[in-house]
Structure 1
Amino acid sequence: MNTEGGAVRIRITRRGFLKLGAATAAAAAMASVASKIPFSRAVMAHGDPSSAVGQSTSSGLYPVYCRAGGSACSLQLSVDSSGRPVWIRPNPESPQAGECDRGASGVWLWDHPLRLSSPLRNAGSKGDPKWESVTWEDALDDIASRLQDIISKYGPQSVAVTSHWMPEFSTLGILLGTPNNAIVQSGTCFGASGIARVAIFGAGTASPFALIPDLANARYVLAIGRNFNCTMGELRTLSAARDDNVQVVIVDPKMPNVALPTETWWLPIKPGTDAAFALAIANYIIQNGLYDAQFLKSSTDAPFLIKPDGTPLTGADMGWGNSDFAVYDEYAGAIVSYRSSQSPSLEYSGSATLSNGSAAQVTTAFNLLAQRASKYTPQVASGITGIAADEIVGVAREFANMRGVAYTGWWSARNGNDVDDWRAIDILNVLVGNVERPGGLLFPVPGGVPSFVSVSGKTIKSVFGGSAPAPSSLSQYPRVDWYRWPVLQKAGVSQFKGVVEAALTGEPYPIKALFIVATEPLHRDVDIARLKEALESMDLVVVIDVLPQDVIDYADYVLPDSIYLEREEATSIPDTPDFAVEYSYPALSPPQGNDSRPMLWAMMEIVKRVNPSMAAALGYTDQMSSDPWGFQREVAEAEISALAKSYGMDPASFLSELRSQGFMVLKKHSYGLPALKTPSGRIEIYSLFALQNGLDPLPDYAPPAYRQPSAPDEFVLITGKDYQVTNQAAWLLPMKWLAREMRMIWMNPSDAERLGLSTGDTVQLTSLDTGESATGSVLVTDRVAPGVLFVPQAMGGHTSSMITEEFSWLTEGVNPNVLNPGMVSGVGIGVLNASVKVTKI
């Protein structure tokens, strides 16, 4: 396969794809290794999902949804008469009817040999633990006692909580009074694309679920840095779209592992050059008049006039007595308010007479975008990206003529220049006017399931009807990451590096206690060496998880959490245009001898000990304290009841239908731009948000932040996810066989030949920026571009002290985060790609 600058066509047959779905095929693949697994949890082969169609929960088929990925796929779990899981499949009627190995893995996770089964206390030291099993009472008492000491010495703001979008995880931090109550993974995940979305589409759009492509009606999908096999619901929708008439172009240094039953092309690109590629497309569209002029005039700031200092011309400049943005009206032949203009010009440049009598040269935002994009001809962009100029022209022409849709970005914390990558990509959708139109970008119907607790002004309320004064410390102190990177606060993005630096420097105040909830910072964040140093410096580190992830070796306590097949809960369905909710039935109890309990209950038990009056005021009773699973059920039912009432529905009937169907659509999407929370109230190709925050209002290309390879044995190391890739799925025994290549270092054949390497050879990777090194085996494959190495996130290089001989294969391979350059960009986004030297061992 030639990956030198040319597009590669990838395609699978349509037959069987829609019948099973890609995820069911993945589950079947996992079942095929069941005979190799020496324990009876591997029970996929115990039943055939197709035989259970139409059964209800009374016969052992239960609605659940997956928490192993952000898409929260709707699933169905089969349980046998002994209470053991049999198989998991997609819920075929749900708007999010997907499943991958991560969701299917629940049958192994339930009674995994390494699953945490009781609270653990570290009687050794951080980094060299000695684990003691203790009772819940003893663990919670000591954690609360230590917290009280920390809060009395350093204040509640010295506590931080981090997670990966787990429901209710911020409860503990809110009730303790720390502003650091919800520091999630976004700074090393979707943060860059989130800032880009906010810059163009306004506040409230940082989440990748805030703007989604209308795949069901798409004709042309441009997926830059997007891996479809991480979201099987999308894959299923796209596979059914327009009966094979949709064309998909994937731009990524690595070839996707799942091909689509439609016209699909892969364009290998040099890492960190996406902005040049997107701006070249924008340049072609503008130069050839392929943009939607009417949409740009009516819905964007493209016709706004910009002064030489980069700020927009307004009524205040013109003496109109208002602050309206100014445009040049072609009918009137004059500069007027954008509100009254009948035909605003996109291409005007001229002089504006200001209220003080002076003149200012002005030009439209559209002209400035055209000028910026003009630097990136197809030939120039080809030299930067490695994609042939004719391929760039072809994509640009097809995207414009077919009114394509481009993904607005998921995992985007990669190269230190990523915000501009995604601003440039987002603008492509705007240029062709494909926003809130069939086949374009959509704003999903807003909505959500009420949280157990919420902060309203100076009051904390619970879904039980209780309330308490909100601790003043919630608003009195800055959040540690937002203190360092103010743009993150304005965009609604997190950066865990802020916790690390506060712990080690005391700025703006010290972090002394940390709760790590269902996430793995050692396989998630930047500067792992400094992160470990920060964990060692803290007075209390508590990990709440299901498996003994590597980070537990730096914890004082580990609390065993429930899994998604054991909890009753509801959530809004992401990644769908409609507002819909889905439901998880507690179909399983923890295995015999396992004393795992719901995370929310553990948090409330800590609050009860630290601040009993707060817990009582919110409605947390002694009965709830003594019945963890009953408490979880009451929370779920109260949240569902509140949601039902907000839609004028009977709560009992609503809950009954959720338990029967597993989901409910509450409001359908209809096309049309919503009110946007940008400074102008319009889509902003010339970002006033960026301007207000000291950033360039237009995107541009800049080289990656890390040192670039310059020798034949130097490469860019990239990482990413796949349908098998999570911190959870990596530990499952089938992955010993199914995911062996996911623990290897992928290298292009041309590079392997040059270095004299073959599949299976052992090499050492050394970071050019930090000198850190790691060792792994090579996989020679043309699924990665020349000059690039690929190592999946979280799959290899595990170091947990609780890994047994049976699972020693987890230590194989490389944790790519160890090799990242330890950088955070100027706006607070982590840099996870790296340049490395390869040495054969």
Structure 2
Amino acid sequence: MQRTSISRRDVLKTGITIGVLGGVSGILLKAAAEAASAKAEAPAANIVSIPSICGMCMAQCAIYINVVNGKPVRIRPNTNAPTSAMGICARGVSGTFTAWLNPDAIKKPMARRALVDWVEGKISWEEAKRQLMQSRGGYDDMVEVDWKTAIEIIAKKLKELADNNERHAMTFLFGAWGPTASMRAAVSIRRFADTYGCGQITFDNPYCTYPRYLGHWVTWGHGHQAHTVCVDYKEAEAILVIRRNVIGAGVVSDTWRFMEAVKKGAKLVVLSPVFDETASYATVWLPVKPGTDLAVLLAFIKYVLDNGYYVEHYLRTFTNAPFLIKENGLPLLASEVAWDKYNMAEPAGFAYVVWDLATNAPAPDAVAKTAALFGQFEVQLRDGTVARVKTALTILKEWVDANLAALAKKHGVEDYFEAAAREADVNIDDLKKAAEIVAKYRAVAPIGWHDPRYSNSPQTWRAVGILLALLGRIQQPGGIFLLTHLIMPYAGIYTKVLKYTRKDVPYKTIRGMTFSEYISANLPAIYAIPLAPPLPGPSDRGAAPVPALVEEWAIEAEKRGYLYPYDTVQALYESVVHGKPFKTKVVFITGSNPIPQIGNSRLVEEIFRNLDLLIVHDVQFNDTTAFADIILPDIPYPERMDLALPGPFSPFPAISVRFPWYYEEYMNRLQQGKRRASLTRSSGLETGGLYLRSC
């Protein structure tokens, strides 16, 4: 047994240490007691939760802003709302930083020194413009100004345009940033543009979502916007995820419903170059090379067609699969057929033609008992000729087979699965397994928002739409539901797509309804931003319409062979840099940061450098504000009181209303003003009606 010896010095050190600790402990205990006493005597904090709507993305999740003693301190989910019943994302919680603690926040109006000198009459506009073109891209010559000076600069330039009959040379440019941008476009921007006579452009969509929109428009036959798609995850047996990370970068309300499907056993096929959060749950993960999703989708479509996994009743009832298509690519119309040759009366109205297997003869779409889905036929026409026709589904199969055959030839193989696997650089066995899951369990594909912007993006999303139609997963249980069917801001673009594709055919939208009929029938369900009545403007007085830059440019673009001549970026570039179809000189940007959003940032910079005046209205400094001549501070979303909007990501009907964090204080002051007004009236004092304005 080892013995331990302790010296006297050690005993003294220990005693001193214990004494010091005891003294410190006593001091700490006393301080704690005094703090507790002070805390008990201090008045309770005034904590208020203000209901609002998150503005960090387009999802419009419901939130509460906690206000303590008159100061906003925290954002938390409103779990009573369908959009945020399961919580909100980290980005939403960080809204306090974006709103109040952001070091890049714009606090005061700013302008370049040359503009201040110009408005004060110190230099000419030519000299001011020369200095502006040299300084854009940095902040060295930016100075803080008051709102009056900033507005005077803008007003002076706009008056100059008006005096020179160049009102159309000014345009608003805003992003597709959900409620904020939409409301500004629908209310304040549109009112100003109508009154002044200038234009407006949604700028980032062509490089953000339009490739996908175009694929949907020309495939599904009506306007489509991503955030109106609701996936019926509850009934889904399999999910195909393409170009999305639903779990790691999805909307909360969509993500938790997606995970409920995964937890209950839904098969999951994920096409993603990276092993992201969603891929980690996949039954089959296909790490496709970027941009090769289309090859995989074509293999899926061929597998469905070759093995009879398509839903015949759905194709006959809800798609154009049985329509007879002529050799020129146009559908055969009932008005072209010599019906007397088939002992049938000519249809009274418009109708497409199918081949009725029950009679082995052509028949109007609505009359046929069993329309053929595949086949090639000959039909007698009224002009005495014979039309050689195929069903639309036959042409689709031929097209898919031809593309996959070309792919097989490219890789020197015979099997289409092997060709697609080599093109996408994935394991062939995994590809076959994924195809079987997609076909056997009739997978549904979440659509999402943005697209990586590959050159084949429209065709990729066309393939997604076709695959969902073959599997009967559109507007059906376990599929996707286009909740509002038609987005009003895009309705006009849909008609333009038709205009620039088949001008002579009255294409229909949902089967059996023309475009106008569809709008009329579904008007109550159509997504429309609530609009305040517009202020009287030129259009209300019968003035000629303002030349729309994109429309004017599209006329020339069509002549040059553009399939889809509505690229707003290219239109603005040619207008600013080359003056075609007219010169745009002043741009006012709100709700958008185009430079990092557009693929060709140098093109955007060239646009900005060649303007007379660039105004940016934003909450923080960014890539685009560096090129601005005037920077105007915007208020962040927790401080906004916005119009009511539909809750697009809600699994149930919902209306989103945003209140500012200071709403309770505002209402208290309003009530105090009303009480003071009431006392003033009761005392018989005259106030000139000012109290009415305060209410």
Over 3 Å counting, the alpha-carbon distance change for 1:162 and 1:116 in structure 2 is same
Q: 1:330-409 maps to which residues of 2 (within 5 A)? A: 330-375=357-402, 376=404, 377-409=416-448
Over 3 Å counting, the alpha-carbon distance change for 1:509 and 1:119 in structure 2 is same
Query: Alpha-carbon deviations, 1:31-81, whole Å to 9, x = none?
Result: xxxxxxxxxxxxxxxxxxxxxxxxxxx942222222221222222222222
Over 3 Å counting, the alpha-carbon distance change for 1:269 and 1:535 in structure 2 is same
| 8 Å CA contact retained: 2:253, 2:650 | no
Over 3 Å counting, the alpha-carbon distance change for 1:424 and 1:60 in structure 2 is same
| 8 Å CA contact retained: 1:63, 1:75 | yes
Please report how far the alpha carbon of residue 220 of structure 1 lies from its aligned counterpart in structure 2 after TM superposition. 1.3
Residue ranges of structure 1 left out of the alignment (5+ in a row)? 1-57, 455-459, 590-621, 635-841
Partner residue, 1:126? 136
Q: Does residue 294 of structure 2 align to residue 275 of structure 1?
A: yes
Please report how far the alpha carbon of residue 563 of structure 1 lies from its aligned counterpart in structure 2 after TM superposition. 0.8
Q: Does residue 221 of structure 2 align to residue 202 of structure 1?
A: yes
Partner residue, 1:473? 545
**AA aligned opposite 1:311:** L
CA distance in 2, matches of 1:164, 1:304: 39
| 8 Å CA contact retained: 2:174, 2:591 | yes
Query: Alpha-carbon deviations, 1:187-214, whole Å to 9, x = none?
Result: 1111111011111222321x11243322
148, 158, 178: which one pairs with 2:159?
A: 148
Partner residue, 1:794? none
CA distance in 2, matches of 1:429, 1:328: 24
Partner residue, 2:505? none
Please report how far the alpha carbon of residue 550 of structure 1 lies from its aligned counterpart in structure 2 after TM superposition. 1.6
Over 3 Å counting, the alpha-carbon distance change for 1:363 and 1:429 in structure 2 is same
Please report how far the alpha carbon of residue 182 of structure 1 lies from its aligned counterpart in structure 2 after TM superposition. 3.6
Over 3 Å counting, the alpha-carbon distance change for 1:212 and 1:345 in structure 2 is same
CA distance in 2, matches of 1:89, 1:507: 49
Query: Alpha-carbon deviations, 1:113-165, whole Å to 9, x = none?
Result: 32111111112632243221111122112212212212443633222222223
Greater C-alpha Rg: 2
Q: 1:419-434 maps to which residues of 2 (within 5 A)? A: 419-434=458-473
Q: 1:254-265 maps to which residues of 2 (within 5 A)? A: 254-257=274-277, 263=282, 265=284
**AA aligned opposite 1:332:** T
Over 3 Å counting, the alpha-carbon distance change for 1:369 and 1:179 in structure 2 is farther
The TM-score normalised by the length of structure 1 is 0.59
Q: 1:280-319 maps to which residues of 2 (within 5 A)? A: 280-319=299-338
CA distance in 1, matches of 2:538, 2:383: 58
Please report how far the alpha carbon of residue 530 of structure 1 lies from its aligned counterpart in structure 2 after TM superposition. 2.4
Partner residue, 1:116? 106
Over 3 Å counting, the alpha-carbon distance change for 1:99 and 1:500 in structure 2 is farther
Partner residue, 2:189? 172
Partner residue, 1:244? 264
Partner residue, 2:57? 69
Give the secondary structure class of the aligned counterpart of 1:374.
Answer: helix
**AA aligned opposite 1:306:** I
Query: Alpha-carbon deviations, 1:78-100, whole Å to 9, x = none?
Result: 22224132233354532355532
Partner residue, 1:552? 625
Partner residue, 2:92? 103
Give the secondary structure class of the aligned counterpart of 2:654.
Answer: strand
Q: 1:698-713 maps to which residues of 2 (within 5 A)? A: none
Over 3 Å counting, the alpha-carbon distance change for 1:347 and 1:275 in structure 2 is same
Over 3 Å counting, the alpha-carbon distance change for 1:562 and 1:309 in structure 2 is same
What is the Cα-based RMSD across aligned positions, in Å?
A: 3.2
Q: Does residue 635 of structure 2 align to residue 562 of structure 1?
A: yes
Please report how far the alpha carbon of residue 516 of structure 1 lies from its aligned counterpart in structure 2 after TM superposition. 1.2
Which stretch has the larger CA shift, 440-449 or 279-288? 440-449
CA distance in 2, matches of 1:338, 1:516: 49
Q: Does residue 242 of structure 2 align to residue 224 of structure 1?
A: yes
Please report how far the alpha carbon of residue 548 of structure 1 lies from its aligned counterpart in structure 2 after TM superposition. 0.6
Which stretch has the larger CA shift, 278-287 or 125-134? 125-134
CA distance in 1, matches of 2:661, 2:538: 29
**AA aligned opposite 1:181:** Q
Please report how far the alpha carbon of residue 491 of structure 1 lies from its aligned counterpart in structure 2 after TM superposition. 8.6
Q: Does residue 208 of structure 2 align to residue 189 of structure 1?
A: yes
| 8 Å CA contact retained: 1:220, 1:248 | yes
CA distance in 2, matches of 1:466, 1:59: 49
Over 3 Å counting, the alpha-carbon distance change for 1:174 and 1:202 in structure 2 is farther
Give the secondary structure class of the aligned counterpart of 2:355.
Answer: strand
| 8 Å CA contact retained: 1:193, 1:408 | no
Partner residue, 2:657? 583
Over 3 Å counting, the alpha-carbon distance change for 1:223 and 1:483 in structure 2 is farther
Give the secondary structure class of the aligned counterpart of 1:427.
Answer: helix
CA distance in 1, matches of 2:433, 2:565: 36
Give the secondary structure class of the aligned counterpart of 1:60.
Answer: strand
**Which structure shows the bigger proportion of residues in helix conformation?**
2
Give the secondary structure class of the aligned counterpart of 1:416.
Answer: coil
CA distance in 2, matches of 1:148, 1:394: 66
Which stretch has the larger CA shift, 164-173 or 290-299? 164-173
| 8 Å CA contact retained: 1:497, 1:526 | no
**AA aligned opposite 2:592:** T
Please report how far the alpha carbon of residue 533 of structure 1 lies from its aligned counterpart in structure 2 after TM superposition. 1.7
Partner residue, 2:456? 417
Q: Does residue 573 of structure 2 align to residue 573 of structure 1?
A: no
Over 3 Å counting, the alpha-carbon distance change for 1:354 and 1:389 in structure 2 is farther
Please report how far the alpha carbon of residue 426 of structure 1 lies from its aligned counterpart in structure 2 after TM superposition. 1.1
| 8 Å CA contact retained: 2:298, 2:463 | yes
| 8 Å CA contact retained: 1:447, 1:579 | no
472, 483, 508: which one pairs with 1:444?
A: 483
Give the secondary structure class of the aligned counterpart of 1:565.
Answer: helix
Query: Alpha-carbon deviations, 1:372-395, whole Å to 9, x = none?
Result: 222432122112211233322222
| 8 Å CA contact retained: 1:405, 1:434 | yes
Give the secondary structure class of the aligned counterpart of 1:361.
Answer: strand
Over 3 Å counting, the alpha-carbon distance change for 1:461 and 1:137 in structure 2 is closer
Over 3 Å counting, the alpha-carbon distance change for 1:475 and 1:501 in structure 2 is closer
Q: Does residue 579 of structure 2 align to residue 506 of structure 1?
A: yes
| 8 Å CA contact retained: 2:615, 2:632 | yes
Residue ranges of structure 2 left out of the alignment (5+ in a row)? 1-45, 115-134, 339-345, 405-415, 485-524, 664-688
Which stretch has the larger CA shift, 576-585 or 541-550? 576-585
CA distance in 2, matches of 1:202, 1:70: 25
Please report how far the alpha carbon of residue 317 of structure 1 lies from its aligned counterpart in structure 2 after TM superposition. 2.2
| 8 Å CA contact retained: 2:294, 2:463 | yes
The TM-score normalised by the length of structure 2 is 0.70
Give the secondary structure class of the aligned counterpart of 1:290.
Answer: coil
Over 3 Å counting, the alpha-carbon distance change for 1:387 and 1:469 in structure 2 is farther
490, 496, 518: which one pairs with 2:569?
A: 496
Over 3 Å counting, the alpha-carbon distance change for 1:167 and 1:240 in structure 2 is same
Give the secondary structure class of the aligned counterpart of 2:369.
Answer: coil
Q: 1:809-828 maps to which residues of 2 (within 5 A)? A: none
Please report how far the alpha carbon of residue 294 of structure 1 lies from its aligned counterpart in structure 2 after TM superposition. 0.7
Over 3 Å counting, the alpha-carbon distance change for 1:409 and 1:238 in structure 2 is closer
Which stretch has the larger CA shift, 61-70 or 96-105? 96-105
| 8 Å CA contact retained: 2:439, 2:471 | yes
| 8 Å CA contact retained: 1:325, 1:338 | yes
Query: Alpha-carbon deviations, 1:308-367, whole Å to 9, x = none?
Result: 111111123214475421110011110111121111000121211222222222110001
Which stretch has the larger CA shift, 512-521 or 167-176? 167-176
Over 3 Å counting, the alpha-carbon distance change for 1:136 and 1:91 in structure 2 is farther
Give the secondary structure class of the aligned counterpart of 2:254.
Answer: helix
Percent of residue pairs identical: 23
